Amino acid sequence: MRVRRSGEHARVGFVELFFDLVFVFAITQVSHLLLAHLTPLGALEAAILLAAVWWVWIDTSWITNWLDPERGPVRLMLFGLMAAGLIMSTSLPEAFGDKGLVFACAFAAIQTGRSLFTLWAVRSSPVQKANFQRISAWALMGAVFWIGGGLAEGQARLAIWLIALALEFTAPAVAFFVPGLGRSNTTDWDVEGAHLAERVGLFVIICLGESIIITGATFAELAWTTPVVTAFASALVATIAMWWLFFSEAHEAASETFAHAADPGAIARRAYTYCPIIVVAGIVVTAVGDELALVHPLGHTAPATAAVLIGGPMLFLLGTSLSILAVWGKVAWPRVAGMAGLVVAACASPYLAPVVLTLLSTSILVLTATWESLARRKS
């Protein structure tokens, strides 16, 4: 069931793309949830759910990096995860309400079921068998907290799910250490970098597509006045600029860096497991800001509106900057400068209408992408 032979690029299969369709819906659900509850508590709840959605997806992408998704048993496993993922996605709007237990059980079933399946699939490899014994132990421990949170209510659920999410994010960082079983070694993870880079790129495309869907659907329902058309154009250009910044030559070069790295698993853990969630959050928050600017382009900019109009691009630049640092160990100065520009824009936000603020944040993204592209051509 191994995906790749030594030196062979693992092509992303159609079944993996089919699996991703569930997450188009999930990302849309999270965006709508944040838009409907644009408060500090609402933002925290949306962040927890977005992180959970990302963790389900990236963990599955690691599995299809190792196992051949064209094999029957692996394909059936992915279909089962799709079914559970769809249940999880439909429960997202009420995850902190009446459907908390549904969400928790679906999430736990995905994480534990996938880990146990992979443990069976790699049973002939002593190294990978031990690796997935540890991973399964962490998944089972996390399931206790997810389901426990689903049974709780109110702030207790929030607190328990924060612990559960902390366990999910901590596990790879501590190499899935389990007393008596030891810890995994990233050099044994044998990751195929080009495949994982392509998978993460596809998830970013999903998020950018969701942003376009929200912007287009909102714009279609509004009167096409000059401020509305301006906000729409700004949102579209911002999405293009984010695509430009993410899918630059650096993204393509990352797979080459993986191919020649002494420990590709360690780089993949940093650059493709942790950093992209910040990028994804930036795209989702930017989409929410674009919708607010479309609906209310003129007048006073509320603090919540300013937070998403500036915070979305800020998170995106931060996430991509950390990814570059994780892969090459260098600082992306144009992106750092872009974040500094957004800080200045945030200071001016109380005096700017939403349409002006969105134009300003979009301009900063475009200038950042242009500066970086010109600098790369000169080097």
Domain boundaries, the chain: 14-188, 193-378
User: Amino acid letter at 79?
Assistant: F
Tell me what pLDDT residue 248 has: 78
Token duo for residue 342: 């957004």
Helix (DSSP H) and strand (DSSP E) numbers for the chain: 14, 0
For residue 101, pLDDT beyond 70: yes
- Classify 178 as helix, strand or coil: strand
The whole-chain average pLDDT of the chain stands at 91
- Provide the CB-side half-sphere exposure for 280 (13 A, CA): 33
For residue 143, pLDDT beyond 90: yes
Token duo for residue 61: 């992408």
User: Amino acid letter at 273?
Assistant: T
Tell me what pLDDT residue 1 has: 52
CA dihedral 347, 351, 353, 357 (to 10 degrees): -20
What is the spatial distance between Cα 304 and Cα 68, in angstroms, rounded to a whole number?
45
- Classify 2 as helix, strand or coil: strand
For residues 85-91, give the mean pLDDT.
Answer: 97
Band of pLDDT at residue 3, cut at 50, 70 and 90: very low
Tell me what pLDDT residue 366 has: 98
For residues 270-276, give the mean pLDDT.
Answer: 88
Band of pLDDT at residue 6, cut at 50, 70 and 90: very low
For residue 130, pLDDT beyond 50: yes
Q: What is the CATH number of domain 193-378?
A: 1.20.1410
CA distances from 252 to 193, 198, 228, 272 (A): 11, 9, 36, 14
User: Amino acid letter at 49?
Assistant: L
CA distances from 112 to 116, 155, 191, 279, 280 (A): 6, 26, 21, 26, 24
Return all residues near 69 (Cβ < 8 A) that are at least 6 apart. Answer: 3, 13, 15, 16, 75, 78
Give alpha helix (H) positions in 174-225.
Answer: 193-220
Tell me what pLDDT residue 301 has: 93
The region of weakest confidence among 66-80, 213-227, 243-257 is 243-257
Tell me what pLDDT residue 9 has: 53
What kind and span of H or E run contains 133? Answer: helix 126-151
What is the spatial distance between Cα 321 and Cα 333, in angstroms, rounded to a whole number?
9
For residues 213-241, give the mean pLDDT.
Answer: 96
The region of weakest confidence among 89-103, 247-261, 351-365 is 247-261
For residue 266, pLDDT beyond 90: no
The region of weakest confidence among 35-44, 101-110, 123-132 is 123-132
Q: How much of the chain exceeds pLDDT 90, in percent? A: 75
